[in-house]
Structure 1
Amino acid sequence: MREGEPARQGEHRAADMRRHAAALVARVASARVPLDYSVASLRVVDFLIEGMRKGSSGDPADPAARRARTQAVLDSLGAYVGEVLVRRAGAVWVDLDDEHRAYFGRTVGVRMPDGRVWNPLGKVVNRYEAGPEESLQTFYLTLPGRHRACAAL
Structure 2
Amino acid sequence: MADVGERMPKAQEMRTRAAIFVQRVGRRGRLPLDYSVASLRVADFLLDGLRRSGAEEARGGEVLLDLGAYVGEVLVRRAGATWIDFDADQQAYFGQPVGVRMPDGRVWNPLGKVRNCFAAGSAQESLRTFYLTLHGRARGRRPVA
Q: Does the pair score TM above 0.5?
A: yes
Cα distance 1:118–1:127, how it changes in 2: closer, same or farther (>3 A)? same
Which of residues 127, 133, 137 is equivalent to 1:142?
133
Provide the rounded CA distance (Å) in 1 between the counterparts of 2:134 and 2:61: 24
Matched, 1:14 2:11: yes
Provide the rounded CA distance (Å) in 2 between the counterparts of 1:146 and 1:128: 24
TM-score, with length taken from structure 2: 0.90
Which of residues 63, 69, 88 is equivalent to 1:98?
88
1:113 matched residue in structure 2: 103
- Partner of 2:83, secondary structure, is strand
- Partner of 1:21, secondary structure, is helix
Tell me, which stretches of 5 or more residues in structure 1 are unaligned?
A: 1-7, 60-65
Structure (1 or 2) with the larger CA radius of gyration: 1
User: After superposition, what is the alpha-carbon deviation per residue over 1:29-60, rounded to whole angstroms, capped at 9, x for unaligned?
Assistant: 1121110000000000000110111111xx7x
Provide the rounded CA distance (Å) in 1 between the counterparts of 2:53 and 2:7: 23
Kindly report structure 1 stretches of 4+ aligned residues shifted beyond 6 Å.
none
Paired residue type of 1:18: R
TM-score, with length taken from structure 1: 0.85
Compute the displacement of 1:10 (Å).
4.9
Paired residue type of 1:76: D
The structure with more helix, counted as a fraction of residues: 1
2:40 matched residue in structure 1: 42
2:73 matched residue in structure 1: 83
1:71 matched residue in structure 2: 61
Paired residue type of 1:148: R
| Equivalent residue pairs, number | 136
Tell me, which stretches of 5 or more residues in structure 2 are unaligned?
A: none
